[in-house]
Amino acid sequence: MDSDDADAPPESIDVPIDGVLDLHTFAPRDIPDVVATYLEECQHRGILAVRVIHGKGTGYQKSVVEKVLKGLASVRSFRTADESAGGWGATLVELHPAKR
């Protein structure tokens, strides 16, 4: 990587707003903002059930996601997914409806 690459803005990643957020394509430092922004957009669009895929690994990404979820007023509840939805590697989130 040359010095010009270090100053380049990060590559844009298009994420469909469909109620499933796969965090595997994001840098760990971006996860808090990505989760918060995605959930805000889901709520705005009336998507109130969301699956966040953070992977199984060491559990670090899961803990980051849970910390973000605990801090968002839009989150009604969240829980680890059952095995059919990703088990330990995914978190299911229920959002409050957007206020009108």
Extract the tokens encoding 76: 């009604």
Average pLDDT score over residue span 64-78:
97
pLDDT of residue 42 exceeding 80, the answer is: yes
Domain ranges (residues) in the chain = 16-95
CB 73: neighbour CB atoms within 10 A?
A: 6
Among 4-8, 34-38, 45-49, which stretch is predicted with the lowest mean pLDDT? 4-8
DSSP state of 10: P
Phi, psi of 16 (to 5 degrees): -70, 140
DSSP state of 4: H
pLDDT of residue 58 exceeding 80, the answer is: yes
The residue written with tokens 């992977």 in the block is 55
Average pLDDT score over residue span 70-97:
96
**CATH class as words, domain 16-95:** alpha beta
Extract the tokens encoding 68: 């973000």
Average pLDDT score over residue span 45-56:
97
Extract the tokens encoding 64: 């980051």
